Amino acid sequence: MTIDPARFDDEWLEADAHGGFASGTVGTMRTRRYHALVLAATQPPAGRVVLVNGVEAWLEIDGTRVPLTMQRYAPDVLYPDASAHLVAFDLSPWPTWRYRIGENAAVVAEVFVAKESGQTVLRWRIEGAATQATLHVRPLLSGRDYHALHRENADFRFDASVDGERVYWQPYGGLPVINAMSNGAYEHAPDWYRNFSYARERERGLDYIEDLATPGVFHFDLARGEALLILHADTGDGPPLHGDAPALATELDARERERRAAFGSRLARSADAYVVKRKHGLTIIAGFPWFTDWGRDTFISMRGLLLAPGRHQDAESILLEWTDVLSEGMLPNRFPDSGGLPEYNSVDASLWFVIAVHDYLATGHALAATTTRLQRAVDAILEGYAHGTRFGIAADGDGLLRAGVPGVQLTWMDAKAGDWVVTPRIGKPVEVEALWINALAIASAWNARWQPMHDRARQAFQARFVDPYTHALVDVVDADHEPGKLDRAIRPNQIFAVGGLPHVIVDDETARAIVAQVEAHLLTPLGLRTLAPSDPAYRSRYSGGLLDRDGAYHQGTVWPWLMGPFVEAWLRVHGAAGVRERFLAPLHAHLNRYGIGHISEVADGDAPYTPGGAPFQAWSLAELMRVEKLIGET
């Protein structure tokens, strides 16, 4: 039985240890500019370039051509169509396709990326009745920034250097050399394939047409055994290719099977994709395919991706790496893709670092020197915030944290289109206060000077944020820095006063009211809406062009990562009975769609809650892992 065509656009991911990755679809046609077989990070984890976008692969059997890949061309032409032959897809241990050829034979195609060394291994073999078949594989190359698109031009270098099983291409000067190894025969046959059409890019209102160059064709006699093509970008981060293709493929296969098996669970294996190298340590990629490492996302994600499965040493490495970029009490929100100075435009990234430090130190795995260094970093953050730092961030007279200036988005609700900050939330946002009060409580454990400020801030929070009409919390106090001005929009940010952080900062009655309001207005099977549907500003769909999507991003769109703090709040208020079946089962089902093995960045606010945004999002997966552990410990 053929695979349901509705699943053809679901995506797979194979990430390396440096920020590069391979990705594509179940149906084999590329639907994004980011789908590629060799996408390398030249300045790990940034500086990403696409070198090998894909391949055109087909069999010749008794003069008949059997396609093993599909391409979509403008305006909307699918050619060739391999759907009649494609009968199965599996992600274990890596992306594997099965094609029916005749009554009693099948071709199995596989692709995986060797995590540490970054080679992409493609493999084809015949199973079943002996069949005389020749496999032809045309690499499709570009050589561009991963956010860009490629068009036919006279500067592309088709030259190939052939050395036995090895073939080398360098499309443009200054880019890494593409190394290819195979156990087939290479025929140099330069050509252009024009007008590939990327459906996901078109849906996002972006340019979506691309031309790719193909320098030649690899030919394999499958009757003699499996066909191998190993691709690698020479960025200087990995070892050179040694030995012949079969020996190297066998070595990489064994190494990858052992590495993946060591994680033990499907979630832990998926989590490893986000953990990559930065300079001398590690960091966490916020999501694939277009994010790099963001401060806020790193510290939120760390608790589920690393601490929940016991990767304490990796968590320590990341925390220590980030202490080196602490400035005026702030940690960066992001590092630009092209290098340059980090961007410090976040009020909460530094506070999430404090939460991550707390959870890491609570494991008992930190050495004394590490504990001291991390505690000093926490003290420096609180010192900077208490006395004032960038963007008007400072402790106010009531002990709460004020933040914000016009034109800058500081909270996690950070959508901005041109000069339009969609949800500015200037003043005292509720989740920022929850983080601030938690950070003061955490640091008070080793530095008594923070205890009075904690007590004053907590008292002010309970006095100022509780809405007398609903007994839940308002979203922003002193909105726009106007004393007493309230933003009563029903948003999920209030949940952090009860769940998602180490300390609950409201009384039991308020906690119950918060959970009840969030459940009634914001809860969906895939996470929490960012705004109640009753609000006039509510946007039910995350779709359309950039302006439409940014306008909906935090105005109703569902965020799966918020299910983590909601479930923790539910546990604290109602207990664990039925929680996994009621709240987590839909997320586990989502692991089998869209970004397979992962959880999407966002989803529509209205049914059927279509997933959107990045198909592979670190904190979405991380919060599922974190609350699964919480439930297991309850």
**What digits encode the pLDDT tens for the residues 73-91?**
999 999 999 999 999 999 9
Give, as one character, the DSSP assignment of residue 342.
P
Give the model's pLDDT for residue 1.
45
Give, as one character, the DSSP assignment of residue 172.
S
Region of residue 340 (left: phi > 0; alpha: psi -120 to 50; beta: else): left
Task: Answer yes or no: are the C-beta atoms of 73 and 209 closer than 8 Å.
Answer: no
Closest C-alpha to 124, from 33, 28, 191, 29: 28
Quickly count: other Cβ atoms within 10 Å of residue 377's Cβ.
Answer: 22
Report which residue type is found at 178.
I
pLDDT tens per residue, range 337-374: 666 778 899 999 999 999 999 999 999 999 999 999 99
* Residue numbers of the chain with a pLDDT score lower than 70: 1-2, 236-242, 336-339, 634
Give the model's pLDDT for residue 131.
76
Query: Residues 60-90, buried b or exposed e (16+ Cβ, 10 A)?
Result: ebeeeebbbbbbbeeeeeeeeebbebbeebe
Residue 516 burial class via C-beta count within 10 angstroms: exposed 0-12, middle 13-18, buried 19 and up: middle
| Residues contacting residue 511 through CB under 8 Å, at least 6 positions apart | 497, 498, 504, 569, 572, 573
Quickly count: other Cβ atoms within 10 Å of residue 394's Cβ.
Answer: 15
Give the model's pLDDT for residue 465.
98
Compute the C-alpha angle 366/294/622, nearest 5°.
Answer: 65
| Residues contacting residue 270 through CB under 8 Å, at least 6 positions apart | 591, 597, 598, 621
Give the model's pLDDT for residue 342.
84
Say how far apart CA 479 and CA 477 lie, in whole Å: 5
Give the model's pLDDT for residue 226.
96
Closest C-alpha to 622, from 285, 375, 247: 285
Backbone phi and psi for residue 80, each to the nearest 5 degrees, phi listed first: -75, 170
Q: Residue 187, SS3?
A: strand
Give the model's pLDDT for residue 236.
63
Structural domains of the chain in order of their starting residue, each with its CATH number: 5-261 (2.70.98)
Say how far apart CA 411 and CA 458 lie, in whole Å: 20
